[in-house]
Structure 1
């Protein structure tokens, strides 16, 4: 009996152990396959799924040189697990048709492909992965249908075709199919990777290909190009990781990262540029995974969720590339002058009296400012957006807005496109079908998310915003926008796979165009974006951590966005997440003010008097510096907007011939002539890299040559240097931009040359004008004056 009990006991233990293993296996599997709502979609996994079929670009099956249209033969392959010495790796092998009836489906399909030229610098490559091409219709990402450029000349070469233009050449080889891109000197910039290119390695690598998913027979493209030694890659939107993306895997999917220290982004942009002298724009709204040598060092694999490839390649230096890219997708118009002043905000002012008190204290303490922003608290219930001022706390909102304007303040309001069930607008939104639905015809989430692909939704929403603008509101904060449901079925007829990334662009456009129509100003304050959103300024950097690393990552994000075609970018000075420590606020403040647009915002308090008199005086001096520099900032903004350049720009844009400029990601140029090196740690000095030329410290007057220097800050906790030979226009301090005296301008000369040119754009002008400063009798005077005596000049 005892023996039988022991057998039963041991058997039960074995059963329990087996069940535990099964449960653990299930939990691991569940954890590996669980998805969170709005989790970024990484399409690269489809190219590693053993149930899928991969088609490799093999050969050019047909080609018409006159039109650039032809066809590619794609060879069928499948992933498999290769084994050697207790090691397994993913590889690919030739496979054969598994469709029935076989006569109806090609073993190795021949599908349309084309090469077009849309400008002397721009090449367009398109390829279909199925019989059905892209849907007809205008693209919201583009300013219009791209033109055809006839300047490229065709020549037949051995085994292929070549087109040569003013800035480079494109060669198409027939077998194996391959595209090579060269600059005007003949230097190879990049080329597509074929299966044959992997022969030099034991590591199986993905060539230019497309995948067909076994789950639904949908397809995605892998546009795979080469990466060269020491190549550096920049762009992809407001990415907070290392500025050079070579070696990184970047997923382009709009997402709320709840901060600035993760890999996900509020503002992914399907565009990048290379230090080799080219850039690429992936014209799609599908999710994209850019594997910039992360999986394999020589391979730049742009794994694009779209079933059809539409790729633009730009040739030239970084400024040329941004100009060409924004010619295609649009350039930022100039925002109104008042928007360049200080925006005063916190989360949040809860009442009319709060707003009036802050405005009064700013004027009383002589702190220049132009905007009072009301964040989430102007409704009856905090965060519950119903587009109505809380009657209990805002006695006369229209009167308040008018009074603030008389004092030189504009009013900005927060809102969002999501509606919780307790919101009184929720039943109307659901009943009228204004929200995104799922395949069941119900809401994907508990919240209602406005469907901006629905014309009825746009009208309903714009009516709400218009009511606020009629009250005198000057700017709308276009918050959130990153959570359009992936599972949604939109009024456009498409799912979230294509509408999710497009949502911020629709959102930005709808508010910006209405504001422009009603106020005459190009102005929003937006967090999320996609390609083309730069046409609707301004965008800010999201909810930064209130830490040194948060400050550092915030700048990297801004530099990266600037290298993605955005001229105007701002951020929450001091960080967002908690009360800003005073030492961090002191260091962050000049970085935030040395930008086109500046806003203090985040957890209370943000007002300088809340930190004591010493800090308030420091704050005033920092803001006064920006207002004195307003002619320079305003002029540089106009110049930047005309060329698709950022105001906060990476050094590589101004100094592309300087190898050091390509590796520095913690300094920036404000326009062409001011170099800003913020302090990311408590202290009074930092290492600063200076490109070629002479540089003068704006605060101390000390001069430096090129190279690395340990430089001390001046009165403000920032290192600010002026490029040798620059002449910076200044005005006297005013309490708002509306009070600036533009008829009296001081020109500060930081050069020794016999003459210098000064660009200047004044309010109300139609263009930037250029005057000259010349040396006469040991002093400088104005030479050519395009303003005809309307401006009184002083020079020092």
Structure 2
């Protein structure tokens, strides 16, 4: 059984710890042997080493020293030689596979990969030089050094993007920094853990790693890639860690694994980026402008399909509507106050017992749920339902799931926790679960909220034959897929509403940002998370507008609302009240104005969604995705692009103005028509809607008259608004028509 240094169940795992312990045996990637340039395969010799303590001037430190084997029998290799290979997937993508021990388990198809991985033939044959071999494509070079082992990645002009770190490369008096490209063998369970160390250049910035709430630039951070119920948006824990990152030097890496990982991105040693993996093999994809990197990564792991049009409208929810009367009242109030909305979400209270998920409406509080759903649908409103994959002992399905063998067990065949946890690696479990979900969808439900999914126990045993070490992070992807597949089969639409995710989950939109505090800083953390997950391959994202944990302060909610409307998907959710009519009359007016703004922008939003899905780009974009040559844009985390043409700067404190950075060009205020010169910082006043929106001069933005639901939008009345350095005028252009699924010209 694997040894994990955690103090509580489902705590994030710091995989770097064994590499800093004196009782761990280390093997450093030293040299390449038996390399065949035709097959691009060979072996790496791993140099046995240990850490020796040294006292010097009243200070103890540890140093790496070569070690001799004292193992018996002597057949055990002192410095093992293990396979590795290089392959090329596209002209921009190289794949590196490294093993540290012989494989016994049969390799399973990867759920993270979309389609088949093919061999690209545009790379040149190997060219030999004094150090090893070089391969080239029109977009870059890969160099392999043999003695010592080195991998160097260059762009088409020969600039080094990054390279591996050999133990002889250190310039530090403390030669254990940085940890070189190596693996550690535990004396407790003989498990292997890999440290793949790459160089970081001066000024280099790293982005991505999933829905991270910490600073957008990850350099200087240590990040544990371990799905966890964060219970907050202001810690390092993540609902959606993704083993992918991209660099300001215009490359990206994807670690093709579900094992626990820790990324030390220049925290321990400023010039080194170390990927620590709790695995005995590494499968690394190297991608080499940021937009192209995202396109390559999503070509490999899948792009987000465009969700149905109605999903881009407002979702109204709270913890929780718990009766048919409440639900109908919300629908009536939305219409009474003329507030555009498309979805009413029923959270934890639609069962007979709150939170006890049994897939059945309460008989005492919902008189006729099928008719309720039908009636709401006639108004243009859809219904979304909450559920979870965990079953408490009082749940009526608890024993059935155990008896049928549909749950995760411990190594002895018992439950590893108090709950019965669905084992989505078991096809029979998926079939049982999808049957329950299908009954709800056939009743008329439009979307299923796939809550939780971060708690698959690490000591669990799964039908796949794997332990929680490899299934824990994979669990959200299996869960997302199960919900998405049955929804598409019954309703014909690509949509879920999920909290947890892993690499590949972007194929199953939509994901939201978890349990947000009701504070200014949490609002900003939500934007950082949106930008980070967008830089991890996810096109669509949402969050709980106004915050989740407590009642939203009116002033905060007023500023948060337009920010929430200018994300791909917009949901008001959390502790009650969330409905605008529970606040002041002026708040209702401001709420309505923000919602109407989004509905008027629906042709632009849907067009940008289509384009973004095709390219694998996010709808909410970090500034540098649109202006990669502007160094300032790489530093900004409190403003963003909504699609390609609208720059958004939310108000993160109680004020009506803020400092905004404008990139090169001219920018037109969406609300006032004021024109600003770019490439400068400016203090800009928010318009009537409390947010700053600036349109790129020269852009043509399609609009339509606001409607109470997307079903009621008249798509024959789309108009084009031109934003120029002379102001705002009506013009001509085109948009992607959501009903015709084609481009339409507007004159």
- TM bin (shorter chain): over 0.9
The Cα offsets for residues 314-361 of structure 1, whole Å up to 9 and x where unpaired, read as 00x110000000000000001000101000101100101111110011
- Work out which of the residue numbers 202, 208, 216 in structure 2 matches 1:235: 208
| 2:559 aligned with 1:587 | yes
Q: 2:593 aligns to what?
A: 621
2:90 is matched with: 119
1:666-745 aligned at under 5 Å gives the runs 666-706=638-678, 707-745=680-718
Aligned to 1:131, which of 102, 110, 116?
Answer: 102
Alignment partners' CA distance in 1, 2:314 and 2:436: 27
Q: 1:54 to 1:202 in 2, by over 3 A?
A: closer
Specify the alignment match of 1:251 in structure 2: 224
* Alignment partner of 1:213 is 2:186: yes
Deviation at 1:457, TM superposition (A): 1.0
The answer to whether the 8 Å contact 1:426/1:448 transfers is yes
- Following superposition, the deviation at residue 651 of structure 1 comes to 0.3
Name the counterpart of 1:563.
Answer: 535
**Alpha-carbon distance in 2 for matches of 1:531, 1:134:** 22
**2:720 and 2:731 in contact (8 A); partners too:** no
Distance 1:637 1:91 in 2: 53
Classify the secondary structure of the residue corresponding to 1:63. Answer: strand
Is 1:313 equivalent to 2:286 in the alignment?
Answer: yes
Q: Does 1:223 align with 2:169?
A: no
Flag the structure with larger Rg.
Answer: 1
Write the distance in 2 (CA, Å) between the matches of 1:270 and 1:231: 19
Instruction: Identify the residue that residue 277 of structure 1 maps to in structure 2.
Output: 250
Q: Distance in 1 between matches of 2:61 and 2:290?
A: 39
1:72 alignment partner, SS class:
strand
**Residues 331 and 418 of structure 1: CA distance in aligned 2, closer, same or farther (over 3 Å):** same
**Which of the residues 159, 164, 182 maps onto 2:136?**
164
| Deviation at residue 755 of structure 1 after TM alignment | 13
**Residues 1:421 and 2:424 aligned together:** no
1:764 to 713, 721, 739: 739
Q: Secondary structure at the match of 2:477?
A: helix
Specify which of 50, 56, 61 is matched with residue 28 of structure 2: 56
Aligned counterpart for 2:351 among listed residues 365, 372, 379:
379
**1:72 and 2:47 matched:** no
Match of residue 463 from structure 1: 435
Q: Are residue 43 (structure 1) and residue 15 (structure 2) matched? A: yes
Partner Cα separation in structure 1 for residue 617 and residue 53 of structure 2: 47
For residue 487 of structure 2, the aligned residue among 515, 525, 529 is 515
Q: Distance in 1 between matches of 2:732 and 2:113?
A: 35
Q: Does 2:111 match 1:140?
A: yes
Match of 2:576 in 1: 604
CA distance, structure 2, for counterparts of residue 351 and residue 97 of structure 1: 70
Q: 2:314 aligned to 342, 360, 381, which one?
A: 342
Specify the SS of the correspondent of 1:652. Answer: helix
The answer to whether the 8 A contact 1:255-1:265 is kept is yes
Give the Cα separation in 2 of the matches to 1:147 and 1:758: 39
Per-residue Cα deviation, 1:101-143 (whole angstroms, up to 9, x for no partner) = 11x2111111101111000000000110012277423100001
Give RMSD over aligned pairs.
1.5
Distance in 2 separating the partners of 1:766 and 1:369 = 23
Alpha-carbon offset, residue 565 of structure 1: 0.3
> What is the Cα deviation at residue 50 of structure 1?
2.0
Q: How many residues align?
A: 739
SS in 2 for 1:408: coil
> What is the Cα deviation at residue 439 of structure 1?
1.1
Q: Could you tell me how far 1:580 is from its partner in structure 2?
A: 0.2
How far 1:98 moved relative to its partner?
Answer: 3.1
Q: Could you tell me how far apart the structure 2 residues matched to 1:240 and 1:199 are?
A: 34
Gap change, CA 1:170 and 1:751, over 3 Å in 2: same
Q: Is the 8 A contact 1:92 1:204 kept in 2?
A: yes
- 1:446-485 aligned at under 5 Å gives the runs 446-485=418-457
Q: Deviations over 1:661-701 (max 9, x none)?
A: 00000001000000110011001111111111100111111
In structure 2, the residue matched to 1:490 is: 462
Which residue of 42, 52, 55 maps to 1:83?
55
TM-score by length of 2: 0.97
What is the match of residue 151 of structure 1?
Answer: 122
Question: Does residue 189 in structure 1 map to residue 161 in structure 2?
Answer: yes
- Measure, in 1, the Cα distance between the counterparts of 2:174 and 2:109: 45
The Cα shift of 1:279 comes to: 0.3
Q: CA deviation at 1:221?
A: 1.1
CA distance in 2 between counterparts of 1:558 and 1:135 reads 37
Does the CA contact (< 8 Å) of 1:408 and 1:736 recur in 2?
yes
1:601-622 deviations in whole A, cap 9, x for unaligned? 0000000000021111111111
TM-score with structure 1 setting the length: 0.91
1:495-520 deviation line (CA, Å, top 9, x unaligned): 11100000000000000011001100
- Quote the Cα distance in structure 2 between the aligned partners of 1:708 and 1:524: 40
Unmatched runs of 5 consecutive residues or more in structure 2: none
Correspondence for 1:4: none
SS in 1 for 2:737: coil
- Structure 1 alignment gaps of length 5 or more: 1-31, 770-785
Give yes or no for contact 2:230–2:237 (8 Å, CA) kept in 1: yes
Whether contact under 8 Å (1:231, 1:276) holds in the other structure is: yes
DSSP 3-state at the match of 1:490: coil
8 Å CA contact 1:635, 1:759 repeated in 2: no
Give, in angstroms, the shift of residue 34 of structure 1.
5.8
1:747 to 695, 713, 720: 720
Question: Which string of whole-angstrom CA distances, capped at 9 and with x for unpartnered residues, describes residues 256-292 of structure 1?
Answer: 1101000010000000000011100000000100000
Alignment of structure 1 residues 496-511 onto 2, 5 Å: 496-511=468-483
